[in-house]
Amino acid sequence: METRAVYPGSFDPVTNGHLDLIQRSAALFDKVIVAILRNTDKIPLFTVEERMEMLNEAVRDLKNVSVTSFEGLLVDFAQQIGASVIVRGIRAISDYEYELQMALMNRRLSNKVETVFMLPAESYSFLSSKLVKEIARLGGSIRGFVPADVEKRLCGMYRIE
Ligand code: PNS
Protein backbone atom coordinates (compact mmCIF):
# COMPACT_ATOMS: atom_id res chain seq x y z
CA MET A 1 0.00 0.00 0.00
CA GLU A 2 1.13 3.54 -0.79
CA THR A 3 2.47 5.53 2.20
CA ARG A 4 1.57 9.20 2.14
CA ALA A 5 3.33 11.70 4.36
CA VAL A 6 2.26 15.24 5.15
CA TYR A 7 4.94 17.82 5.87
CA PRO A 8 3.12 20.73 7.56
CA GLY A 9 4.44 24.16 8.45
CA SER A 10 4.37 27.90 7.97
CA PHE A 11 7.05 27.98 5.25
CA ASP A 12 7.28 31.78 5.50
CA PRO A 13 9.32 31.42 3.31
CA VAL A 14 10.63 27.95 2.37
CA THR A 15 14.35 27.61 3.17
CA ASN A 16 16.97 25.20 1.87
CA GLY A 17 16.60 23.40 5.20
CA HIS A 18 12.92 22.71 4.46
CA LEU A 19 13.87 21.65 0.96
CA ASP A 20 16.50 19.24 2.27
CA LEU A 21 13.85 17.63 4.46
CA ILE A 22 11.36 17.46 1.57
CA GLN A 23 13.97 15.68 -0.57
CA ARG A 24 14.77 13.20 2.21
CA SER A 25 11.04 12.56 2.78
CA ALA A 26 10.42 12.11 -0.94
CA ALA A 27 13.04 9.35 -0.96
CA LEU A 28 11.36 7.58 1.97
CA PHE A 29 7.63 7.87 1.25
CA ASP A 30 5.55 7.18 -1.85
CA LYS A 31 3.93 10.60 -1.74
CA VAL A 32 4.78 13.76 0.21
CA ILE A 33 2.22 16.53 0.62
CA VAL A 34 3.75 19.81 1.79
CA ALA A 35 0.96 21.65 3.61
CA ILE A 36 0.95 25.33 4.56
CA LEU A 37 -1.12 26.23 7.61
CA ARG A 38 -3.67 28.95 6.80
CA ASN A 39 -5.17 29.91 10.16
CA THR A 40 -1.96 30.67 12.05
CA ASP A 41 -1.43 33.01 15.03
CA LYS A 42 1.78 34.25 13.44
CA ILE A 43 1.65 37.32 11.18
CA PRO A 44 3.26 36.06 7.97
CA LEU A 45 5.49 38.07 5.65
CA PHE A 46 4.23 36.23 2.56
CA THR A 47 0.62 35.34 1.74
CA VAL A 48 -0.30 31.67 1.58
CA GLU A 49 -0.52 31.99 -2.22
CA GLU A 50 3.00 33.47 -2.43
CA ARG A 51 4.37 30.75 -0.15
CA MET A 52 2.63 28.14 -2.28
CA GLU A 53 4.21 29.58 -5.46
CA MET A 54 7.69 29.54 -3.90
CA LEU A 55 7.26 25.97 -2.67
CA ASN A 56 5.87 24.78 -6.00
CA GLU A 57 8.88 26.24 -7.78
CA ALA A 58 11.27 24.65 -5.24
CA VAL A 59 9.79 21.13 -5.58
CA ARG A 60 9.22 21.30 -9.34
CA ASP A 61 11.59 18.38 -10.05
CA LEU A 62 10.29 16.11 -7.29
CA LYS A 63 7.59 14.04 -8.94
CA ASN A 64 6.07 12.56 -5.77
CA VAL A 65 5.79 15.90 -3.94
CA SER A 66 2.79 18.23 -4.03
CA VAL A 67 2.02 21.49 -2.25
CA THR A 68 -1.25 22.56 -0.69
CA SER A 69 -2.65 24.52 2.27
CA PHE A 70 -4.87 23.53 5.14
CA GLU A 71 -7.03 24.93 7.92
CA GLY A 72 -8.02 23.40 11.23
CA LEU A 73 -6.45 20.44 12.93
CA LEU A 74 -3.50 18.79 11.25
CA VAL A 75 -4.63 15.28 12.17
CA ASP A 76 -8.02 15.90 10.52
CA PHE A 77 -6.31 17.18 7.40
CA ALA A 78 -3.92 14.20 7.37
CA GLN A 79 -6.89 11.86 7.51
CA GLN A 80 -8.71 13.75 4.74
CA ILE A 81 -5.78 13.33 2.37
CA GLY A 82 -5.02 9.75 3.40
CA ALA A 83 -1.66 10.54 5.05
CA SER A 84 -0.55 8.14 7.77
CA VAL A 85 2.67 10.02 8.52
CA ILE A 86 3.42 13.57 9.71
CA VAL A 87 6.99 14.65 8.93
CA ARG A 88 8.64 17.26 11.14
CA GLY A 89 12.25 18.40 11.16
CA ILE A 90 14.40 18.66 14.25
CA ARG A 91 17.45 20.90 13.87
CA ALA A 92 18.68 21.03 17.44
CA ILE A 93 17.68 19.85 20.89
CA SER A 94 15.88 23.19 21.37
CA ASP A 95 13.31 22.14 18.74
CA TYR A 96 12.66 18.87 20.52
CA GLU A 97 10.47 20.02 23.39
CA TYR A 98 7.90 21.79 21.20
CA GLU A 99 7.96 19.01 18.61
CA LEU A 100 7.53 16.31 21.25
CA GLN A 101 4.55 18.15 22.74
CA MET A 102 2.91 18.51 19.31
CA ALA A 103 3.60 14.92 18.31
CA LEU A 104 2.18 13.52 21.53
CA MET A 105 -0.88 15.78 21.34
CA ASN A 106 -1.45 14.74 17.73
CA ARG A 107 -1.17 11.11 18.80
CA ARG A 108 -3.76 11.76 21.49
CA LEU A 109 -6.05 13.38 18.92
CA SER A 110 -5.68 10.56 16.41
CA ASN A 111 -4.05 7.16 16.50
CA LYS A 112 -4.23 6.90 12.71
CA VAL A 113 -1.26 9.14 12.06
CA GLU A 114 2.35 8.72 13.20
CA THR A 115 4.86 11.59 13.55
CA VAL A 116 8.29 10.96 12.07
CA PHE A 117 11.13 13.31 13.04
CA MET A 118 13.82 13.88 10.47
CA LEU A 119 17.18 15.63 10.65
CA PRO A 120 18.20 18.09 7.96
CA ALA A 121 21.80 18.21 6.73
CA GLU A 122 24.11 19.61 9.43
CA SER A 123 24.86 22.60 7.25
CA TYR A 124 21.23 23.70 7.66
CA SER A 125 20.96 23.06 11.39
CA PHE A 126 21.17 26.78 12.21
CA LEU A 127 18.78 27.88 9.47
CA SER A 128 15.25 29.21 10.04
CA SER A 129 12.73 31.27 8.06
CA LYS A 130 12.74 33.81 10.89
CA LEU A 131 16.52 34.37 10.73
CA VAL A 132 16.52 34.51 6.94
CA LYS A 133 13.84 37.25 7.00
CA GLU A 134 15.78 39.19 9.62
CA ILE A 135 19.05 38.99 7.67
CA ALA A 136 17.31 40.10 4.46
CA ARG A 137 15.56 42.97 6.26
CA LEU A 138 18.87 44.17 7.67
CA GLY A 139 20.60 44.00 4.29
CA GLY A 140 22.70 40.83 4.79
CA SER A 141 23.25 38.10 2.22
CA ILE A 142 20.85 35.16 2.29
CA ARG A 143 22.50 33.37 -0.65
CA GLY A 144 22.61 29.62 -0.09
CA PHE A 145 19.98 29.75 2.66
CA VAL A 146 16.91 29.84 0.42
CA PRO A 147 16.10 28.84 -3.19
CA ALA A 148 17.11 31.50 -5.77
CA ASP A 149 13.50 32.51 -6.44
CA VAL A 150 12.90 33.11 -2.72
CA GLU A 151 16.13 35.11 -2.47
CA LYS A 152 14.94 37.31 -5.33
CA ARG A 153 11.54 37.91 -3.72
CA LEU A 154 13.00 38.68 -0.29
CA CYS A 155 15.65 41.02 -1.69
CA GLY A 156 13.00 42.70 -3.86
CA MET A 157 10.86 43.21 -0.81
CA TYR A 158 13.67 44.99 0.99
CA ARG A 159 15.08 46.61 -2.18
CA ILE A 160 18.45 44.84 -1.91
CA GLU A 161 20.56 44.54 -5.08
O1 PNS B 1 6.33 25.73 10.73
P2 PNS B 1 5.60 25.75 12.02
O3 PNS B 1 4.97 27.11 12.23
O4 PNS B 1 6.45 25.33 13.17
O5 PNS B 1 4.39 24.68 11.89
C6 PNS B 1 3.49 24.44 12.94
C7 PNS B 1 2.32 23.55 12.50
C8 PNS B 1 1.66 24.10 11.27
C9 PNS B 1 2.85 22.16 12.18
C10 PNS B 1 1.31 23.46 13.69
O11 PNS B 1 1.04 24.75 14.16
C12 PNS B 1 0.00 22.76 13.33
O13 PNS B 1 -0.02 21.60 13.05
N14 PNS B 1 -1.09 23.53 13.31
C15 PNS B 1 -2.41 23.04 12.93
C16 PNS B 1 -3.41 23.10 14.07
C17 PNS B 1 -3.26 21.88 14.94
O18 PNS B 1 -3.45 20.76 14.53
N19 PNS B 1 -2.93 22.14 16.23
C20 PNS B 1 -2.68 21.10 17.20
C21 PNS B 1 -1.23 20.67 17.13
S22 PNS B 1 -0.84 19.60 18.44
Per-residue pLDDT of 30-84, as tens digits, reads 999 999 999 878 899 999 999 999 999 999 999 999 999 999 999 999 999 999 9
Which one of 12, 18, 51, 73 would you pick to mutate in the ligand 1 pocket, going by the greatest count of ligand atoms within 8 A of its CB? 73
Q: If you measure from the C-alpha of residue 73 to the centroid of ligand 1, how many angstroms do you get, rounded to a whole number?
A: 8
Residue nearest atom 6 of ligand 1, based on CA coordinates: 9
Q: Report if pTM > 0.85.
A: yes
* Alpha helices (H) along the chain: 16-28, 48-58, 74-80, 93-109, 129-137, 148-157
Q: Are 80 and 33 in contact (CB under 8 A)?
A: no
At 130, the amino acid letter reads K
What confidence tens digit (pLDDT) does each residue in 101-144 have?
A: 999 999 999 999 999 999 999 999 999 999 999 999 999 999 99
